[in-house]
Amino acid sequence: MQVRWSRRMKQRQEKGRNRREMAHRGTDGGKLFMTVLYMVALCSAVPINDLLDRAAQRSDKLHSLSTTLSQELDTHFPRMITPRPSMCHTSSLQTPNDKAQALQLSEADLMSLARSLLQAWMDPLVVLSTSANTLSHPSQSSISNKIQELQEHSKSLGDGLDILSNKMGPAAQIISFLPYRGGNDIGQDRLSKMINFHFLMSCLRRDSHKIDSFLKILRCRAAKMQPQIC
């Protein structure tokens, strides 16, 4: 009898624990769901001008970081021996050659191009982050930290552009997929690693400048400023 009673008590205790865990998970899930709803509602209430201003600020930081990183590499490693920019994995995307051409594009096209370029750097940024830890460079630690910052700003900017593109219509939501086929290993020896790392950074610097330019034109148009000021 005592054994049966003890067994029943354990079963009741386990059921009670299960109920509490389910209730806790339900509470956490409810909080997460409410947080997501709140953020969506908050973003929906923010004027598109303000959203574009925030996006332009993030893209400016993205380009500034990629430029700083490229300059750090330039001081230790000659730019002249890196591969040509036409070999960048994003080179197949048709983008404006200069500001005058960019000003001719529609808002939806500019947003689509910016999102396509940003999307194309998700995987290469992971490769850069992993490679930076083994890079033979006097500023290796600083480079590694900046790459992590680039990843954070890229993710934040991507989330913001998703919201903006939804507000701008279907054409702005089109993304041209530009797969990175360089693999996770950028080189076996010190020299090849430096060359390939520098090459990827030079491509990122170029593309981050394009993203920044497109978003600043969009911000300028939303604020109804003159094209020459954009």
The domain spans of the chain are 1-45, 48-229
More confident site: 188 or 143: 143
pLDDT digits (tens, 9 = 90+) for 64-97: 999 999 888 877 765 545 557 788 999 999 999 8
The pair of structure tokens assigned to 230 is 């954009």
Round to whole Å and give the CA distance between 116 and 173: 10
Q: Which of the pair, 14 or 210, is modelled with greater confidence?
A: 210
Are 217 and 103 contacting, i.e. CB atoms less than 8 angstroms apart? yes
**Alpha helices per DSSP H over the chain:** 2-45, 48-74, 99-102, 107-120, 122-132, 140-168, 190-222
**Whole-number pLDDT of residue 25:** 46
DSSP 8-state secondary structure symbol assigned to residue 81: G
Q: What is the DSSP letter of 170?
A: G
DSSP-based three-state secondary structure for 104: coil
**Residue 140 CB partners (closer than 8 Å, separation 6+):** 132, 133
State both tokens at 187. 């080189």
Read off the pLDDT of each residue in 175-204 and give the average, rounded to a whole number: 87
Given a cut of 70, is residue 121 above it in pLDDT?
yes
- Residue 82 to residues 13, 140, 195, Cα–Cα distance (Å): 67, 19, 6
Q: Which fold has domain 48-229?
A: Growth Hormone; Chain: A; (1.20.1250)
